Amino acid sequence: MVADLSTEEGISALLAAEPHADVVVNNLGIFNDKDFFSVPDSEWMHFYNVNVLSGVRLSRHYAQGMIDNGWGRIIFVSSESGVAIPADMINYGVTKSANLAVSHGLAKRLASTGVTVNAILPGPTFTEGLQEMLAEAATQSGRSPREQADEFVKTARPSSIIQRAADVDEVANLAVYLASPLSSATTGAALRVDGGVVDTLAM
């Protein structure tokens, strides 16, 4: 099933094809490194539609069936940028803060239903998206994509404790836990898998 989840039409097509789900992972997201003064209103709205409303629309639909079944898992993939908004990705950070607000509020709304709602906050992760963003820098430096990603972490996110980009599986492991029966007492949480980028004792 292929659909543009940044639009109501795309969401409707997906829901018609797959009307029921026990676990929803809202992982759709876009990002760029663009100066605040260079981002027009249209791009702000596009980021909001993709990064926020896609998850809102899916959760609003699928949560109904989860409530009826007395069990379900909703996971929002936010970002460390949602709590430590970077100067070069403000529009992205704002949408990731919104993910946290929706996740926490929805967890309260679904209290005592058997449905949990949580957010994951990855740090820089070695995804295709990060590789594409850093492709030009890698070409200019002669580094491999992995080396360039790790260099990005060291320079752009110097507070990282692991001093490298996380692997996709390292983030997915947390999602698997949250999607399982083992996480029944975990809801309304914002769980970091950011390699220590966010320098705080809490969250």
Enumerate the active-site residues: 92
Q: How far apart are CA 172 and CA 185, in angstroms?
A: 19
DSSP letter at 196?
A: T
Q: How far apart are CA 1 and CA 91, in angstroms?
A: 29
Beta bridge partners of 24: 74
Q: Convert 10-73 into a string of H (helix), E (strand) and C (coil).
A: HHHHHHHHCCCCCEEEECCCCCCCCCHHHCCHHHHHHHHHHHHHHHHHHHHHHHHHHHHHCCEE
Q: How far apart are CA 101 and CA 188, in angstroms?
A: 10
